[in-house]
Chains A and B, each alone.
Chain A
Amino acid sequence: MTTFTINGKDVTVDVEADTPLLWVVRDELRLTGSKFGCGVAQCGACTMMVDGMPRRTCVTPVGTVDGSSIETIEGLEGPEVAAITAAWEGLDVPQCGWCQSGQIVSATALLREIPKPTDDDIDAAMAGNVCRCATYVRIRQAIHDAADSMEG
């Protein structure tokens, strides 16, 4: 049994401790906004916040998050994700959309640490989030737009 908080709600799951957190969140808790992409921490589609930090959940055994606070794309809150969501909509960033929940979680993590990131900051923070539609230019611009909107 593993107990943790997901989007502010306490949950206990009865699964093998080595089950990836992504499996548990999607299949047991039915929160399917976070995606499976590669399964080997190379694409970032499965990114969630674990105790406030972005984490690739396809390589995170659920047993290691006992007692942790998990935030998924469905429950992420705060001024940064609000600004990012608005900027994402403003630029119509997603194409197929598969990677976008992971992109938004990573971008939120960046803005929480660096409110006004440079291109280099963005490239470094987003290096592990792959987009097969290659929406990278819009992603970068949307992060700048989100930062600008928060500044104002």
Chain B
Amino acid sequence: MKRLILALGLTLTGPALADTVNGLKTVDEFSAIESESERSVAVFQEMMKVIESPRCLNCHPRGDSPLQGDDMHVHMPPVQRGAADFGAPGMYCTTCHGSQNVAFATGAGSIPGHTPWQLAPIEMAWVGKTAPEICDQLKDPARNGDRSLAEIHEHMAEDGLVGWGWEPGKGRTPAPGNQQVLGELVQAWIDTGAMCPES
């Protein structure tokens, strides 16, 4: 009987849903913050852990070149953004990037892939920006692809190319957490007023 109680106790107490997942806190971990606006800001700061991941920033560059790798170096070969954020005529992203990650046949590493594979438009550039700047940008239809907050949630929680950030292939560190936890954070941020940090 003592064993049963112990087992039940373990089942009920852990692992708690609130546990941080792969370096990303879950929504439950912010429930102790009483002020809704403060909770909103804290949740956004947690979202920033993903947004600032090389997996996201590399394709949200501020210039006309994508970045590459965990050290965010300029993409090699020296490709260009192009008119449709998809490369230049004769050298589109799909010249090299296919529908899936492909391990190199002759050595370590892999080339990433997904359909579609493209850059975020220049108005959605994140590299070099602060959390308040990115927060304002995310809420600004002129700089977020004319998305409502619900559509921002959909992009972060369900978009396949965003989801690639957690399955980036050999040689690249996945974004913190997972797409489900990020989606829950984004929803919690929206539900608490989508507040932005001041610094």
| A interface, CB within 8 angstroms of B | 18-20, 23, 39-42, 44, 47, 53-56, 58-61, 64, 106-107, 109-110, 113-114, 121, 124-128, 130
Residue B13 CB within 8 A of the other chain:
no
In the bound complex, do residue B91 and residue A124 qualify as a contact, i.e. CB atoms below 8 Å apart?
A: yes
A60 touches B102 (CB 8 A): yes
With contacts A20-B105, A60-B102, A64-B98 known, is A42 near B77, CB below 8 A? Answer: yes
Give B87 Cβ to nearest chain A Cβ, in Å: 8
Query: Interface size of B by Cβ–Cβ distance < 8 Å?
Result: 25
Whether the pair B94, A53 counts as a contact (CB closer than 8 A) is yes
* Shortest beta-carbon distance from A102 to chain B in Å: 11
Q: CB-CB < 8 A to A124: which residues of B?
A: 79-80, 82, 88-91
B111 CB to closest chain A CB, in angstroms?
A: 5
Find chain B residues with CB under 8 A from A109 CB: 89-90
Closest residue on chain B to residue A41 by CB atoms: B96
Instruction: Please tell me if the beta carbons of A127 and B79 are within 8 angstroms of each other in the complex.
Output: yes
Residue from A53, A107, A113, A128 in contact with B77 in the complex, judged by beta carbons closer than 8 Å = A128
Q: Which of A23, A56, A106, A125 has a CB less than 8 Å from the CB of B105?
A: A23
Question: Which of A44, A58, A60, A121 contacts B89 (CB under 8 A)?
Answer: A121
Are A126 and B104 closer than 8 Å at their CB atoms?
Answer: no
A116 to chain B, nearest CB (A): 12
Contacts of A56 in B (CB 8 A): 95-96
Q: Is residue B180 contacting chain A, with contact meaning CB distance below 8 A?
A: no
Shortest Cβ distance from B104 into A: residue: A40
A102 to B94, CA, bound (A): 16
Q: Does B99 contact A (CB under 8 A)?
A: yes
> With contacts A40-B111, A41-B96 known, is A61 near B102, CB below 8 A?
yes
- B104, A39: Cβ atoms under 8 Å? yes
- Distance in angstroms from A128 CB to nearest chain B CB is 4
* Cα of A18 to Cα of B80 in the assembled complex, Å: 29
Chain B residue numbers with a CB within 8 Å of A127 are 77-80, 88, 91
Please, which residue of chain A has its CB at the minimum distance from the CB of B77? Answer: A128
Residue of A nearest to B105 (CB): A20
Do B89 and A55 have beta carbons less than 8 Å apart? no
Q: How far is the CA of A101 from the CA of B3 in the complex (A)?
A: 73
Q: Min CB distance, B9 to chain A, in Å?
A: 48
**Mind listing 14 A-B residue pairs with CB under 8 Å?**
A40-B106, A40-B111, A53-B95, A54-B90, A54-B95, A55-B94, A56-B95, A59-B102, A61-B98, A61-B100, A121-B90, A125-B88, A125-B89, A127-B91
Determine how close the nearest CB of chain A comes to the CB of B184; give it in whole angstroms. 34
**Is residue B4 within 8 Å, beta carbon to beta carbon, of the partner chain?**
no
Whether A113 touches B106, Cβ cut-off 8 Å, given contacts A42-B77, A128-B77, is no
Contacting residue for A64 out of B77, B91, B100, B107, CB 8 A = B100
